[in-house]
Structure 1
Amino acid sequence: MQTDHERGAAPAPPPRGRRGRRTVLVTSALAVVAAVAVVGALGLGGGGAQDGSSAPPRSHSTVPVTRATLTERTTVDGQLGYGTEIPLPVKVTGTVTWLPGESSTVKRGGTLLRVDDRPVVLLYGTLPMYRELGLTANTRQDTRQGTRQDAGTEGDARGEAGQGTADQGPTGDASGAPAPSGSPTPGGAGAGRTAGTLRGMDVLQFESNLAALGYTGFTVDEEFTDLTARAVERWQKDLGLPRTGTVGVGDVVYSTGKVRIGHAGVRLGSAVTEDALTYTGTSRKVVVNASAAEDSWAVRGATVTIGLPDGKSVKGEVASVGKKATAPEEGGGEGGSGAPTVPVTITIKDQESVGRLESAPVTVEYVGRERADVLTVPVAALVALAEGGHGLETADGRFVAVKTGLFADGRVEVSGSAVREGMKVRIPE
C-alpha cells in the first residue's frame, strides 16, 4: 500500500484498472523534509527553541498552528456490476423450448424459461421448492364428499343428493338447523381441512405469492386446502397449463426478489441442466478484491465513497465481506503485490445516481485512521533538524522540535512542549 506520506503532498490521480492497486491519500512530508534538510545541516535545528537572529529570513509566509480532526482516506480499485451470477435452481426435467434474453428482468409471476413448452415461474421467497404442493389423498376424498355442501361456490351448483337446494340454511342442513360446533363452513376458512391436509411454511410461502398475484378465495396460512387448489387451478388456466390444482417441484423457482438474467448454459432443444440459467439481483453494486491483510475497513454497514468513471462520486455501504481469501493470479497482476484478497461487496442505495452504467472500473474510498482534536500544520511547514526529527520555524526565526503524527489532507499532526494552538510558523522556501 502506497501512502501520500511516501509519495508527496500533492499526489496525482491514481490510474484505473490495476488489479489490487491501493493508493492512500495521506499527505507526506518527506519531499519537504529533503528540500529543507540543509537547515539542520547548518546547525539551525535543536531540541528546543534557539536563537535564530543569525538565520537569514526563509519566507514571509506564515501560518497558524490550528486544532482539527485529521482523517486518513484510502482508495482501492473496484468493479461496478450486478454481482456474481448464480445458477437458477431449476428442478424440472425435459427439453428447453424457450429461454429469456440475457440481461432481461423477471418479476414475480414471470416466466424464467419453458421446458417441454411448460413455463417455469418465478416466485418470491427464501425457502426452496422441495416437494409437490397439492391436496393429500384424505383431502381429495373429503373434497369429493363435500362437493355437494359447497356446490354453490364458483357457480358449480350441482343439487346432488338433495343438498344445495334453496331450502338449505346458510350454515346448516336442509332443515335450516345450524351446523354443529367446529364443523367446517362451506366456502369459509375451515373448508376442506382434514387430518390429511398438507401443512408447512412452504405452503404459506406459496399461498402468499398466489395472493400477491391477485388470486383470492382461500386463506393465506400454512394449510393447502381445496380452496387453495381451486385458486391454483385458476392460476394454471392463466398460464395455459392443465388445471390440476397441484404445483410440481419444478413448476416454480424462488428468489428473494426480481432477478436479472445472466447467461444461458444450454441451447434451445437441449435437455435442461442445473446450470441452464444464471441470474443476479437487479441492483448495481461494487465488488472490491481487498487485501486480506488490510481489510479492517471492510466492516458490514461501513460507509464508503465510490468514484465513477465520469468523475462523479456516490455513496456506498459495505454489505458483505468474503470469509475465504483467494490467492492472486500468477505474478500478482499488473502492479499488484501478490497478496491474497477477499471479496468485499458494496451496495448503492441511490441507483439513479449511477446513471446507465452497468459495468465499469471504479474506485472506492474509505476512512482509515482518524485523529480528533489535534494540533496541525501544513505539511510544507515541516523542516528537518540536524540531530534528527522534525521541527517548525517560528515567525521570529526560532526553531522548535516537534513530534509528528498522522498525515492527512495536506496537513500533519504535531505535538511538543513548545507548540501551542495559534502559534505562527513559517513555510520554508
Structure 2
Amino acid sequence: MSEPAAATAADQPSPGTEEAPRRKRRGGKIAATTALLVVATGGAAAAGLGLGGGSSADEPHDALPPRTAEVTRQTLTDSRSEDAELGYGSTITATGNLSGTLTELPAAGRKITRGQALYEVDEHPVTLMYGSVPAYRVLRTGTEGTDVKQLEKNLKALGYTGFAVDDEYTDSTAAAVEEWQKDRGLEETGTVEPGQVVFTSGPVRVDTLVAAKGDRTGPNQKVLSYTGTTKVVTVELDTTDQRLAEQGRKVTATLPDDTKVDGRIAQVSTIIEAGSGEQDEAKTKVEVVVALDGAKAQKAADKYALAAVHVDFTAGRRKNVLTVPVAALLALEEGGFGVEVVKGSTTSYVPVTTGLFAGGRVEVSGDGVTEGTKVGMPE
C-alpha cells in the first residue's frame, strides 16, 4: 500500500486538536509554525498571506536553517492503494407477499432474468421484472402511475403488444396481462397482485436462501437474498480518505493474478460498524462500490467468486508544478503559508500559495520561488 498522502491547508488541525511544534525564526520578527497537514482534498489556496510586524519577504536574516531542500518541478499525484473485496456487491432481501407454501426455490448462485420465476408459492411463479418502483399495490383497469408504466415496459420487453406504454392501466393493458398470466399458468384476472411480481434494477444472482422449500410464507416473510449479476469491488475507507471516493471517478483494480482492470466508482455510502465490545465504540466508514467496466474486465474477474484485490485511487494530479516538502511550509503569523528562501549566507521569508498535497510534498507558487530555489527545513 502506498504512503498516505498529506492534507490540504484547508484541512489542517484546528488549535487544540493536534499540537504542532512551534519554531521562531532567527533574527526575524515572524513567528512561524511548522505545518503538520493531513491531506483530505486535491488542493487548496492559502489566503491572506502577509508579513506584518515590519518584516518583508526580502528582509535578510543572518542565521541559516539547519538544513535545506530544493524547489523541484514535477508531476504531483495524490494517490492511494487500498485493500478491497471482489464479489457481487451488496445483498438485497426478497420478502414474500403471497400467503402459501414455498413449492420451488432457486439454487444459490443461479442468475435470473426478466420474465423468469424468482420462486414459486403454491406452484404459482413469482416473476422477476425490471424497475425501480416496488410492487406495492394491486394494478387494475383505471390505475395510473409510474408503476403502471413500469409494468407495461416489462410486458412489451417480454413480447406482449396491443397497448400503449404510459402511466394508464387501460383495458388493452388488462388484455395483455391476461395473456401473460395465461402463459405463466396463473388465473387470468387481468389484474396484477403485488406478490405476483418482484421488481429489481436488472438481472439478479441468488445469494442465499433464507427459507426452505415447504416452508410457509406470507407478507414480510424473508425468502431469499440476491445481488446483481456483474462483478464489483467493494472498498471500505476511513472518513478522512473520503476525498478519494468521488462517484464516477476512474480507478484501477489489481486482481489476485496481478491483472489490472479498469473500474469506476459507482456508489459511495456511509456505514456504521458496531463496536465489538463494551469498550469499543462504533466506527463510521465510507463504503465504495467499484464497477468493473467492460467485457474484458468482467471476463478477467469471472475467474474468482470472492477474492481479495487492491484498488488504486487517484484523487488529484497536477502536471509540471513547483513543489517543496510539506515540512518546509511555515504558517505565517499574519495568516497563510510561506517558505524560508536561502540565498548564500542569508535567508528571507516568501509567502506562497499552496495547491495539491501528495506524497509528502506540496505544490507552491509565489514571487521568488523558482525551480532550484533552496528553502529551509526543520531539524
TM-score after normalising by structure 1: 0.58
Contact 2:357 2:363 in 1 (8 A): yes
Q: Which residue of 1 aligns with 2:253?
A: 306
Look up the match of 2:132. 126
Q: Distance in 2 between matches of 1:331 and 1:369?
A: 40
| Partner residue, 2:180 | 235
Question: Hey, what's the Cα distance between the residues in 2 that align with 1:5 and 1:282?
Answer: 35
1:227-280 per-residue CA deviation (whole Å, 9 max, x = no partner) reads 222222221221122322222221111112111111111111001253201111
Secondary structure at the counterpart of residue 209 of structure 1:
helix
> Per-residue displacement from partner, 1:363-421 (whole Å, max 9, x unpaired)?
112124655433469x9xxxxxxxxxxxxxxxxxx999999x98968999799999864
Match of 1:252 in 2: 197
1:103 Cα deviation after fit: 1.3
Aligned to 2:74: 68
Matched, 1:103 2:109: yes
**Partner Cα distance (1:2, 1:105) in 2:** 38
**Alpha-carbon distance, 1:88 to partner:** 1.5
Asked which structure has the greater CA Rg, the reply is 1
Give ranges in structure 1 of 5+ residues lacking alignment: 7-23, 25-44, 51-63, 136-196, 380-397, 424-429
Supply the AA of the counterpart residue of 2:110.
Answer: S
Q: Is the alpha carbon distance of 1:347 and 1:400 closer, same or farther for their aligned partners in structure 2, counting shifts above 3 Å?
A: farther
Q: Which residue of 2 aligns with 1:347?
A: 291
- Paired residues of 2:3 and 2:359 also in contact (CA < 8 A): no
Tell me the residue number matched to 1:3: 3
The AA in structure 1 aligned to 2:166 is D
Q: Establish whether residue 292 from structure 1 lines up as the match of residue 236 from structure 2.
A: no
**C-alpha RMSD of matched pairs (Å):** 4.2
Residue equivalent to 2:85: 79
Instruction: Report what 2:22 is aligned to.
Output: none
Q: Which 4+ runs in 1 deviate beyond 6 A?
A: 398-403, 405-419
Shift of 1:323: 2.9
Q: Please tell me whether residue 202 in structure 1 is matched to residue 147 in structure 2.
A: yes
Paired residues of 1:96 and 1:115 also in contact (CA < 8 A): yes
Q: Residue 115 of structure 1: CA displacement?
A: 0.4
> 2:201 & 2:4 partners in 1: Cα distance?
43
Give 1:5 deviation, angstroms: 8.9
Aligned residue pairs: how many? 297
Q: 1:22-56: CA deviations, max 9, x gaps? A: xx9xxxxxxxxxxxxxxxxxxxx965999xxxxxx
Provide the identity percentage.
40
d(CA) in 2 for partners of 1:332, 1:346: 33
Matching residue's letter, 2:108: E
Q: CA separation of 1:66/1:216 partners in 2, compared to 1, >3 Å: closer, same or farther?
A: same
How much has 1:2 moved relative to structure 2? 7.7
User: Which is richer in strand?
Assistant: 2
Question: SS of the residue aligned with 2:183?
Answer: helix
Provide the C-alpha distance between the structure 2 equivalents of 1:4 and 1:343, rounded to a whole number of angstroms: 18
- How far does residue 119 in structure 1 lie from its aligned partner after superposition? 0.3
Letter in 1 for 2:205: R
Q: Which of these residues, 313, 321, 335, is aligned with residue 374 of structure 1?
A: 321
Counterpart check, 1:94 vs 2:100: yes
Instruction: Please tell me the residue identity of whatever aligns with 1:114.
Output: E
Aligned to 1:269: 214
Distance 1:330 1:350, change over 3 A: farther
Instruction: Give distance in 2, aligned partners of 1:328 and 1:104.
Output: 35
> Do the aligned residues in 2 keep the contact of 1:284 with 1:351 (CA within 8 Å)?
no
- Using the alignment, how far apart are the partners of 1:418 and 1:225 within structure 2? 77
- Tell me: CA distance 1:328–1:415, structure 2 relative to 1, closer, same or farther (3 Å): farther
SS across alignment from 2:242 = coil
In structure 2, how many angstroms separate the alpha carbons of the residues matched to 1:323 and 1:359? Answer: 23
How far did 1:343 drift? 1.5
Between the aligned partners of 1:349 and 1:325, the Cα distance in structure 2 is 28
Distance 1:218 1:48, change over 3 A: closer
Give the stretch that moved more between structures: 299-308 or 412-421. 412-421
How far apart are residue 67 of structure 1 and its match? 2.5
Aligned to 1:35: none
Structure 1 distance, partners of 2:270, 2:192, is 38
Q: Verify the 8 A CA contact 2:64 2:345 in the aligned structure 1.
A: yes
Structure 1 residue 107, shift from structure 2 partner:
1.0
Following superposition of structure 1 onto structure 2, how do residues 122-201 of structure 1 map, counting pairs within 5 Å? 122-135=128-141, 197-201=142-146
In the alignment, the residues of structure 2 paired with residue 288 and residue 127 of structure 1 have an alpha-carbon distance, to the nearest angstrom, of 28
- In the aligned structure 2, how far is the partner of 1:313 from the partner of 1:371? 24
